[in-house]
Structure 1
């Protein structure tokens, strides 16, 4: 029986495309983040900031499958980062152009890049600690895309 060829498909919630780029999945996450944040902002507008921050951490910091993103355009990645920052601003009623690093620091909340770094490190640690030899081998290969992404997130390029 002939197989149907598709350009993209969803597997366990992650979009896989024929070019193996992550832009479609990043856009899925950007839209989902927008929906979640707008719901929180509407339903909890009168709550204290501490409650809103707790809700933001619970509902907006998951960034599902972000640790798998290794090949994407800067445009798609930046759009998600801006959405994340704006979601926090909207939820807390902060001015549109306030400093993202300052607002996250004052709220004792991880910013976008910290979330991505933590998720990437967590995946690599879980793969290396796996009882599955194939997963361990993939995580330890120097040419592994996941290891390359981890290095790009954790190693300074100021040389």
Structure 2
């Protein structure tokens, strides 16, 4: 469970409600396994955040936490999440290369699409460094080259065209487009409102990615 609040007092109020509910229903929160992330605003000193407790136990303040497969960081950077995905993709790619080295390219492409094109939550990547972005893109390209036994200098665009496989840019466009469509068709009024706010920097970025103007 995740609680979000714009201030310390709001988070404390939410925790108080949770504590009351748990007491009424004979439940108990494990405060030692609960963590607190302070999303930092510009020129904000996170060390000034007052202590927040759950069932009388101070919550541990951390810089990052993984929720539903996505890495949330206090500075809102997506670099750690992208690096986690890059490493996982490298492991899967090497596994395919070892176990299916003697298979046809058709089989390898099927496995590549199944295991190396997930990019879980990549539609949420909006704040990252060019280094992190290039790192995961190059890793993706190199895995396909390795599976097809192509030289490293082989053109990536030609490789994806001839193998009829989506490149990294195409995958991101599809994921972002799918997310926007699901948000606009959602029964949740907050998600629909967010998706229609074209003045939002987040939505503007998503639209640019979907139409191929942003990377």
TM-score range for the pair, normalised by the shorter chain length: over 0.9
Q: Which runs of 5+ in 1 are unaligned?
A: none
Higher relative contact order, structure no. (Cα contacts within 8 Å, ≥ 6 residues apart) = 1
Q: Which runs of 5+ in 2 are unaligned?
A: 1-52
Cα deviation digits, residues 51-89 of structure 1 (max 9, x gap): 000110111001011001011001100000000000100
Query: 1: distance between equivalents of 2:171 and 2:202?
Result: 16
Q: 2:162 aligns with which of 106, 117, 120?
A: 106
Question: What's the CA shift for 1:4?
Answer: 1.8
Q: Which has the larger radius of gyration?
A: 2
Structure-2 change in CA distance of 1:6 and 1:156 (3 Å): closer
Structure-2 change in CA distance of 1:77 and 1:51 (3 Å): same
Structure-2 change in CA distance of 1:49 and 1:79 (3 Å): same
- Matched residue SS, 1:5: strand
- Matched residue SS, 1:15: strand
Q: 2:196 aligns with which of 128, 140, 152?
A: 140
Residue 58 of structure 1: aligned partner: 114
**4+ long deviations beyond 3 Å:** 143-146
Q: 1:128 aligns with which of 184, 193, 203?
A: 184
Question: What's the CA shift for 1:92?
Answer: 1.1
Q: Give the structure with the larger helix fraction.
A: 1
**Normalising by the residue count of structure 1, what TM-score does the alignment of the two structures yield?**
0.94
Count residues with an aligned counterpart: 157
C-alpha RMSD over aligned residues: 1.3
